[in-house]
Amino acid sequence: MSFKIGNLEIENKIILAPMAGVSNSPFRLLTRTYGAGLVFAEMVSDKGLLYNNEKTIKLLYMTDAEKPMAQQIFGSDLKTMVEAALYIDQHSNCDIIDINMGCPVPKVAIKAQAGASLMKNPDLIYDIVKEIVKRVKKPVTVKIRSGWDHQSINAVEVAKKIEAAGASAITVHARTRSQGYSGFADLEVIKAVKENVSIPVIGNGDIVDGPSAKRMLDYTKCDAVMIGRAALGNPWIFREIDAYLKDGTILERPSLHEIKDMMVAHLESLIDLKGEHTAILEMRSHGPWYLKGIEHASNLRKQLSQTRTKDEFITHLDAFFNKK
């Protein structure tokens, strides 16, 4: 079940995606506890690092318990991307430096001409990856999309350049930038990339359970799968996929008691890291995600989205779950 990125041994084939505002230290630790073999931190801006932006620097916080971990950076300027990678190499406790060349959001892909926008310039991708690999000690990986749009699907061409530039692995989110997160991931793209490079390929897109993970692994022959949105409010997904891949076991969903305890633990770890105010703001999103699929929880979702304190949050949980 294990595979290697550079000399780093990853214990299984199940990886947490880098998600802005989600993949912070408490959430990474939860997913590692429940079986993620590798976790990616949310992306940080190259210029944010170089200008010593306080918010950006705080995003680099991590603990040894989360390792192995990859820190993702984004940008489009060769010089500042190299400087940012050097900063991560020297000041972060991460194991891998990942370059984002797949983010589709306008703020990144259009305004900053970074993320998925780089898919339009394979030569610049090659130059950025090659120079970073040459300058840093940690393994370098790259996350890409299928292409900019359906008329320019070029993941194979880009993957070959990334490999030639010396990267240790590549993640393919098998949607185009124009798709965003809509439609379906195209497994043919991941399969084609895997057939054309010799470095590990991580498949990303539409992994929601054990069967979907196994389908991607079997069909594309990719080395691992990356889980993003399906992990929101569901850190147990890593445990479930791991069991299914090992012997086809389908685990029971977590009990209501386990869900409630997880929500409280998640809140408390966010408070420890960021303080009560910021933690509550983040749990206004996480709370409703945890309640997905639970009957008669619509009023609780509304209550949690308006909470202001830890005591208020827990009072709402007690009132709902103690009736169950």
Catalytic residues: 103
CA 217/CA 113 separation, integer angstroms: 32
- Contact, 219 vs 238, CB < 8 A? no
- Contact, 47 vs 75, CB < 8 A? yes
Give, for 172, the enclosing helix (H) or strand (E). strand 169-176
- Contact, 197 vs 222, CB < 8 A? no
Name the CA dihedral angle for 309, 315, 320, 324, rounded to a multiple of 10 degrees.
130
Q: Are strands 8-10 and 3-5 parallel, antiparallel or unpaired?
A: antiparallel
Give, for 288, the enclosing helix (H) or strand (E). helix 276-290
100 vs 1, 114, 120, 257, CA distance in Å?
26, 8, 14, 38
Place of tokens 């950076």: 73
Length of the chain equals 324
- The 8-class DSSP code of residue 166 comes to T
Task: Compute and round to an integer the Cα radius of gyration of the chain.
Answer: 20
Angle ∠(211,216,217) on CA atoms, nearest 5:
95
- Contact, 40 vs 18, CB < 8 A? yes
Burial of 134 (0-12, 13-18, 19+ CB in 10 A): exposed
Bond from prior residue into 288 cis (ω within 30 degrees of 0): no
Give, for 39, the enclosing helix (H) or strand (E). strand 38-40
